[in-house]
């Protein structure tokens, strides 16, 4: 009887150790939903939602830096209401102008998603990243950077989704940004301004 009790205690202890050891630290969820005004987006679980740094931002996330990039990236959603925020071409021109002309590349495509028609911009080169309040007009140059931006025309008005960071960090973010609003690169066509 004593031997049986000792064996049962040992088995119980082994089972509880095995359970806690296999549980380990929790990994971030594969995806998470974030709300930006009336728009719900599905972004990677590793993107950390943060408090928007200005009233112009409907949502904001930090994108962890990929190996080889020194700084985290950022994802921001802007919404100004129906008809707000300027036209597609005006926004693209502004985003392109944030890059140094030398070595800058621009790719523009359009497509359809469950949230609405969209235009997607991929801009690479030396990015003059805004620093501080927008009205100050201050920036710092960041080499080997990339901006991924989508203007999604929803029934409530256009949403402006913009991610920026080092090229390595943005490499996977392009697919993630499209997935966030249900878009697929396969159905996209070139967009002409």
Give pLDDT tens digits for 47-85. 999 999 888 899 999 999 999 998 999 999 999 988 888
pTM flag (> 0.85): no
Dist. CA 163–CA 170, nearest whole Å? 8
Q: What are the structural domain ranges in the chain?
A: 28-190
- 130 versus 2: the higher-pLDDT residue is 130
- 87 versus 10: the higher-pLDDT residue is 87
Q: Is the pLDDT of residue 15 over 50?
A: no
Which pLDDT score is estimated for 17?
A: 41
Task: Read off the pLDDT of each residue in 21-26 and give the average, rounded to a whole number.
Answer: 49
**Model confidence pLDDT, tens digit, residues 102-116:** 999 999 999 999 999
Which pLDDT score is estimated for 21?
A: 43
Q: Is the pLDDT of residue 89 over 80?
A: yes
Mean of pLDDT over the chain:
86
Mean pLDDT lowest among 68-72, 128-132, 155-159, 175-179: 128-132
Q: How confident is the model at residue 3 (pLDDT cuts 50, 70, 90)?
A: very low
Residue 184 has phi, psi (to 5 degrees) of -135, 130
- 10 versus 88: the higher-pLDDT residue is 88
Q: Is the pLDDT of residue 117 over 90?
A: yes
Instruction: Give yes or no for a contact between 41 and 33, defined as CB atoms under 8 angstroms apart.
Output: yes
Residues of the chain with pLDDT > 70: what percent? Answer: 83
Query: Could you name the CATH architecture of 28-190?
Result: 3-Layer(aba) Sandwich (3.40)
* Token couple for 2: 């004593």
What is the full DSSP assignment across the chain? Answer: -HHHHHHHHHHHHHHHHHHHHHH-SPPPPSEEEEEETTEEEEEETTSEE---SSTTEEEEEEEPPPTT-SS-EEEEEEE--TT-S--HHHHHHHHHHTB-STT-EEEEEEEEETTEEEEEEEEEEEEEEE-S-GGG--EEEEEEEEEEEEEEEETTEEEEEEEEEEHHHHHHHHHHHHHHTT--GGG-EE---
Which pLDDT score is estimated for 86?
A: 87
């Amino acid at each position: 009887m004593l031997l049986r009790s000792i064996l049962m205690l040992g088995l119980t202890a082994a089972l509880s150790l095995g359970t806690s050891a296999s549980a380990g630290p929790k990994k971030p969820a594969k995806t998470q939903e974030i709300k930006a005004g009336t728009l719900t987006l599905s972004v990677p679980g590793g993107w950390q939602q943060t408090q928007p740094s200005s009233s112009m931002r409907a949502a904001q996330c930090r994108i962890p830096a990929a190996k080889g990039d020194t700084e985290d990236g950022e994802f921001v959603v802007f919404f100004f209401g129906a008809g707000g925020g300027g036209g597609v071409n005006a926004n693209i021109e502004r985003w392109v102008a944030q890059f140094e002309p030398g070595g800058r590349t621009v790719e523009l495509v359009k497509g359809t998603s469950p949230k609405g028609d969209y235009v997607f911009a991929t801009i690479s080169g030396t990015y003059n990243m805004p620093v501080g309040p927008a009205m100050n007009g201050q920036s710092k140059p960041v080499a080997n950077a990339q901006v991924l931006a989508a203007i999604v025309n929803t029934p409530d008005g256009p949403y402006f989704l913009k991610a920026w960071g080092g090229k390595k960090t943005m490499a996977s973010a392009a697919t993630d940004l499209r997935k966030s609003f249900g878009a697929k690169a396969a159905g996209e066509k070139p967009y002409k301004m």
